[in-house]
Amino acid sequence: MGFRHINFKEDACSGCNICVDVCMCDALAPNPVKGKPPIEMYPEECWFCGCCMTFCPQLEKGAIQIVTPFPMRGGFHKEKD
Amino acid sequence: MADLKITPIETDVLIIGGGIAGCMAAIKAAEEKSLRVTLVDKSNTMASGCAASGIDHIWSYIPPIHERMGYTIEDMAEDHRQGIAFGFLRNDLFYLIAETMYERILDLEKFGLNFRYKDSNVPGKFRIVSQFHSVPTSFNFDGKPLKLKLTHEAKRRGVNIINRVQMTDLITTNGQVSGAVGVGTRTGDIYFFRTKAVVLSSGRSNRLSRNPSGVDFNTRLPSPMSGDGTSMAIHAGLPIINIEFLSSRLLSACGNYCPNYGDPRNTVQPAARIVDGKGDVIVPRSEFYDWDQLGKEKFDPVETRRRWLEDRKTWRGGRATMPKRVAQGEGPFYLDFSEGTDDEIDYIAWSIKNEGKGTQFMRYFEGEEGLHLRKNSQEYAGWANRELAGTAAKGLWVDKDMETEIKNLYAAGDEVGGVPWAASPGAFTMGWHAGEMAAQRAKGQKEFLPVSDEKTKLRKEICSEILNRKRGFYWKEVEIYLQNLMDFYCGDVRGEGLLRRGLERLEYARNAPLKAENPHELSRSLEVKSIIDNAELVLRSSIERRESRPAFDYRRSDYPEQDDKNWLVFLAVRKEEDGGYRFTKIPIE
């Protein structure tokens, strides 16, 4: 499919790679440039547990965010306000 | 391609799979200070297995509460046998879970997990909700950091944790386990273990069916669980039960997100209900138990069970009509929280965020879409992939002390068959017991047995071949082929002709030349081999069980009736040394 769904914010990410360490699917890889955000190597192999975000020490600064793939979205009913 | 390195490791106890069961086994075994305990995980024990991103509930017999009610363990076993297991229950293992889970809760508290709440009016300040039995038996708790805490405790006790190694082979010497082989998922290197005792705890077999969302790894249960343990066990000649009970297509909450946070009467209780598009209620909401009445009412277990089974029949029956109605063009259906109070909604949100993909789902639902649980009902009829679910209770046949037919080889958690929805309580208690037993055996054995390196060499050859192959197929192509095969030839209704053709086409997948460009792809290729092994067992066992059993979603076109006289038994399948398969019927005691 070729989609990507993890957004790293380069100026917020410290490049600590804890997300790479904990990813159960091993979908991420460290950036060859030290201190830079990891690379999403295998976006089609994400289970969406969200551990990469949960463990991120820079989460509040928005260092990492999962953008839910489109085929998984929209399963809700939006009430009229 | 560089030559794959072989790393020899000697350990007294080897634990394969670092989910709840494996971590508990390691923690318990490491109490024996003289032993070296090694825990191997394909991912990272901090975030692996079904509890990777947390669990929010654990069922248990809870003496300080249930004794005051007058509810006994025997009552609980009977609830489980009738309402959850539909007769297919291993009593010995059920009692192990029910009798020891409360002690494990107290251990988990010592490991740093919180089970007690100031606002609770339940004895012990617990949060206890209804789920699997006629009275409330499930602890709700802050279980999100569970795996982190278990990992810390294991390390504190000196357990050697090896992450990112996929185990592939068991080695025996004269009928006793003596070693094992694994492959580094980031290196491709071969790990050759010599050991005195093994606990096998690699979890369920997943990825046996196409994912209708089109996002392949968005399965309900963690996608890395590829049935590696079942694959190893079958090659070691061990019996597997209940593997024919691959579910029909499940209805998942929330469109195609598969968040695994249950449904009304489950984790999202009590305020959720299921309604159809016209607002008619399919499954009504339930109510919290009135704890102020605890111990004051005269408790009649038989009448309580009768009412509970009646209620279960009604809502399960209602839910069961949904796939049929969708197939006839009716729907949609919604999970609706509009009857919930603010307190109830807060409680549910807390609970959801502690379990599985719940946190990430809420990040999507609230964060990305700006929605609210009560205001925005969620569609409840997306299709999920089929699975060997909790009801199936598929897995290894072990004795009451978790030992397999191979001496010193134990199994625990979802690796073990016979207790439907053993789930996390099964993992905590069986893991603990298996760890204790394995440690005793290892302690009692002075010398290591001689270990053949034949399987290690063969594994290295297989891996090198996949890595060096110039022309071949990427793992995912073969996985998709296999999943299509299962959905077509081993579908919601099965017949012998299709099942046999499925086996023929499975042979074609087994012979597919896999190629991998790096160790990560190699690991996935090895997973596909496990999935093929698991799929073959599902097909073969489905041919063998010549009846239908709707409670397990098991339907044969050529044997449409349930046949309790011949088939109210566990069906065990094993592979013989000559490559043939042998079936045995194990009576249910």
Residue A67 belongs to some domain of the structure: yes
Distance CA B414, CA B230 (A): 10
Mutation target among A5, A47, A60, A66 for the B interface, most CBs of B within 10 A: A47
Residue A80 reports pLDDT greater than 60: no
Q: Which of A44, A46, A68 sits opposite B368 (nearest CB)?
A: A68
Q: Is B473 helix (H, G, I), strand (E, B) or coil?
A: strand
Residue A79 reports pLDDT greater than 80: no
Residue B11 reports pLDDT greater than 70: yes
* DSSP secondary structure letters along B144-156: TTHHHHHHHHHHH
Task: For chain A, say whether B456 makes contact (Cβ under 8 Å).
Answer: no
Residues B408/B198, Cβ–Cβ less than 8 Å: yes
Tell me how close the Cα of A3 comes to any Cα of chain B, in angstroms.
10
Who has greater pLDDT, B330 or B568?
Answer: B568
* DSSP secondary structure letters along B356-408: TTHHHHHIIIIIIT---TTTS-EE--EE------TTT--EE---TTSB-SSBT
Nearest by Cα to A24 from A58, A57, A54, A49: A49
pLDDT of residue B384: 81
The amino acid present at B293, given as its one-letter code, is: Q
Nearest chain B residue (CA) to A21: B44
Mutation target among B217, B226, B518 for the A interface, most CBs of A within 10 A: B217
Q: Which residues of B touch A51 (CB under 8 A)?
A: 47, 52-53
Q: Please, which residues have CB within 8 angstroms of residue B74's CB and are 6 or more apart in sequence?
A: none
The answer to whether A75 contacts B378, with C-beta atoms less than 8 Å apart, is yes
Residues B56/B351, Cβ–Cβ less than 8 Å: yes
Report the mean per-residue pLDDT for chain B: 94
Tell me how close the Cα of A77 comes to any Cα of chain B, in angstroms.
5
- What is the SS3 string spanning A48-81? CCCHHHHCCCCHHHCCEEECCCHHHCCCECCCCC
pLDDT of residue A2: 59
The answer to whether B257 contacts A75, with C-beta atoms less than 8 Å apart, is yes
Tell me how close the Cα of A55 comes to any Cα of chain B, in angstroms.
10
Residues B331/B277, Cβ–Cβ less than 8 Å: yes
Q: Which residues of A touch B52 (CB under 8 A)?
A: 24, 47, 49, 51
User: How far apart, in Å, do the first and last CA atoms of chain B sit?
Assistant: 55
Cis peptide before B270 (omega within 30 of 0): yes
Q: Would you place residue A47 in the very low, low, confident or very high pLDDT band (cuts 50, 70, 90)? A: very high
Mean local confidence (pLDDT), B21-46: 98
pLDDT of residue A1: 44
Tens-place pLDDT, residues B316-354: 888 888 888 888 888 899 989 998 999 999 999 999 999
Q: Please, which residues have CB within 8 angstroms of residue B268's CB and are 6 or more apart in sequence?
A: B253, B261, B262, B335, B337, B348, B351, B352
Residues B462/B187, Cβ–Cβ less than 8 Å: no
Distance CA B140, CA B159 (A): 29
Q: Please, which residues have CB within 8 angstroms of residue B235's CB and are 6 or more apart in sequence?
A: B169, B170, B533, B575
The answer to whether A77 contacts B334, with C-beta atoms less than 8 Å apart, is yes
Distance CA B531, CA B529 (A): 5
Helix B519-544 and helix B454-468, axial crossing angle in degrees, nearest 10: 110
Q: Which residues of A touch B369 (CB under 8 A)?
A: 73, 76
Mean local confidence (pLDDT), B93-98: 98
Q: Give me the half-sphere count of Cα atoms (radius 13 Å) on the Cβ side of residue B139.
A: 30
Task: Quote the strand ranges of B214-306, DSSP E.
Answer: 240-241, 251-252, 273-276, 281-283
The answer to whether A78 contacts B356, with C-beta atoms less than 8 Å apart, is no
Please tell me the pTM assigned to this model.
Answer: 0.97
Q: Which residues of A touch B53 (CB under 8 A)?
A: 49-51, 54
pLDDT of residue B1: 53
Q: Which residues of B touch A78 (CB under 8 A)?
A: 371, 376
Tell me how close the Cα of A68 comes to any Cα of chain B, in angstroms.
7
The answer to whether B214 contacts A42, with C-beta atoms less than 8 Å apart, is no
Tens-place pLDDT, residues B155-174: 999 999 999 999 999 999 99
Residue B124 reports pLDDT greater than 60: yes
The answer to whether A68 contacts B334, with C-beta atoms less than 8 Å apart, is no
Mean local confidence (pLDDT), B122-144: 95
Residue A66 belongs to some domain of the structure: yes
The answer to whether B363 contacts A50, with C-beta atoms less than 8 Å apart, is yes
Tens-place pLDDT, residues A21-30: 999 999 999 9
Which residues form the domain of A45? 6-72
pLDDT of residue B326: 85
pLDDT of residue B73: 98
Tell me how close the Cα of A79 comes to any Cα of chain B, in angstroms.
6
Q: Which of B52, B356, B379 sits opposite A76 (nearest CB)?
A: B379
Task: For chain A, say whether B22 makes contact (Cβ under 8 Å).
Answer: no
Q: Which of A23, A49, A77 sits opposite B360 (nearest CB)?
A: A49
Q: Which residues of B touch A68 (CB under 8 A)?
A: 257, 364, 368
Q: Which residues of B touch A62 (CB under 8 A)?
A: none
Domain count, chain A: 1
Residue A79 belongs to some domain of the structure: no
Tens-place pLDDT, residues B219-265: 989 999 999 999 999 999 999 999 999 988 877 777 888 887 767 77
Please tell me what DSSP assigns to residue B213: T
Tens-place pLDDT, residues B512-542: 999 999 999 999 999 999 999 999 999 999 9
User: How far apart, in Å, do the first and last CA atoms of chain A sit?
Assistant: 36
Q: Which residues of A touch B215 (CB under 8 A)?
A: 44, 69, 71-72
Residue A45 belongs to some domain of the structure: yes
The answer to whether A23 contacts B186, with C-beta atoms less than 8 Å apart, is no
What percentage of chain B has pLDDT greater than the value 90? 83
Determine how many CB atoms are found less than 10 A away from the CB of residue B453. Answer: 15
Q: Would you place residue B178 in the very low, low, confident or very high pLDDT band (cuts 50, 70, 90)? A: very high
Nearest chain B residue (CA) to A76: B378
Task: Name the CA dihedral angle for B144, B145, B148, B153, rounded to a multiple of 10 degrees.
Answer: -120
Tell me how close the Cα of A43 comes to any Cα of chain B, in angstroms.
10
Q: Is B313 helix (H, G, I), strand (E, B) or coil?
A: helix
B192 sits in which H/E element = strand B190-200
> Domain coordinates of chain B in residue numbers?
251-383, 454-561
CATH classification of the domain holding A26: 3.30.70.20
Residue B266 reports pLDDT greater than 80: no
CB within 8 Å of chain A, chain B residues 514-573: 520, 523-524
Report the mean per-residue pLDDT for chain A: 93
- Distances in Å between the Cα of B16 and the Cα atoms of A1, B117, B183, B198, B492 are 33, 35, 12, 7, 33
**Range from B55-59, B75-79, B271-275, B417-421 carrying the lowest mean pLDDT:** B271-275
Residue B277 reports pLDDT greater than 80: yes
Determine how many CB atoms are found less than 10 A away from the CB of residue A42. Answer: 17
* DSSP secondary structure letters along B92-136: HHHHHHHHHHHHHHHHHHHTT---B-TT--SGGGBEEE-SSSSS-
Q: Which residues of A touch B378 (CB under 8 A)?
A: 75-77
Nearest by Cα to B532 from B556, B555, B552, B514: B514
CA B437 to chain centre: 22
The answer to whether A72 contacts B257, with C-beta atoms less than 8 Å apart, is yes
Nearest chain B residue (CA) to A3: B215
Tell me how close the Cα of B342 comes to any Cα of chain A, in angstroms.
18
Mean local confidence (pLDDT), B55-77: 96
Residue B2 reports pLDDT greater than 70: no
Mean local confidence (pLDDT), B114-123: 96
Tell me how close the Cα of A16 comes to any Cα of chain B, in angstroms.
16
The answer to whether B363 contacts A48, with C-beta atoms less than 8 Å apart, is no
Q: What is the CATH number of domain B454-561?
A: 1.20.58.100
Task: For chain A, say whether B294 makes contact (Cβ under 8 Å).
Answer: no
Q: Please, which residues have CB within 8 angstroms of residue B571's CB and are 6 or more apart in sequence?
A: B241, B242, B244, B541, B544, B545, B583, B584, B585, B586
Residue B279 reports pLDDT greater than 50: yes
Nearest chain B residue (CA) to A27: B520
Q: Please, which residues have CB within 8 angstroms of residue A62's CB and are 6 or more apart in sequence?
A: A9, A12
The answer to whether B368 contacts A77, with C-beta atoms less than 8 Å apart, is no
Tell me how close the Cα of A18 comes to any Cα of chain B, in angstroms.
11
B172 sits in which H/E element = strand B165-173
Residues B271/B104, Cβ–Cβ less than 8 Å: no
Tens-place pLDDT, residues B461-509: 999 999 999 999 999 999 999 999 999 999 999 999 999 999 999 999 9
pLDDT of residue B60: 98
Determine how many CB atoms are found less than 10 A away from the CB of residue B341. Answer: 10
